[in-house]
Amino acid sequence: HDAIWVIVDRLTKSAYFLPIREDFKMERLARLYLNEIFARNGMPVSIISDLDSRFTSRFWQSMQEALGTRARIMDFRGSWDVHLPLVEFSYNNSFHSSLRCASFEALYRRKCHSPILWAEVGEGKLIGPEIV
């Protein structure tokens, strides 16, 4: 590793220090974000970037690809471990009758932001976090 990717939550000021290499492709950075940040915290409402061209040009597209956000069935073919963070996210954001809420909501006292937001019920328009 030759660089550190610092990600800070604006509300709690909690920080994540992720070792990376300067030559990591956007797809690898998106997968790292998915595994280390998204799986534990959910989708951010907004992202503030230092305007590095890698993040302003391809980050959101790479995130959607890493999340598998496509209208098709995915066959993992032995690569289930790559998708384990998504399974963890789904489980932690599913309603539990004993808690009367999702475990994420019980832990953080708020609903988790989903990677898919619908503009209005019945509308088929996808939107993502605002990149500032």
Strand, helix or coil for residue 36? helix
Q: What is the pLDDT of residue 119?
A: 44
Backbone phi, then psi, for 73, in 5-degree steps?
-90, 135
Write out pLDDT tens, residues 108-118: 888 887 765 54
Q: Is the pTM of this model over 0.75?
A: no
Angle (CA) 48 64 36, round 5° = 65
- Per-domain residue ranges of the chain: 3-69+83-131
DSSP string, 45-84: SEE-----HHHHHHHHHHHHHHHT-SSS----TT-GGGGH
pLDDT at 45 over 60: yes
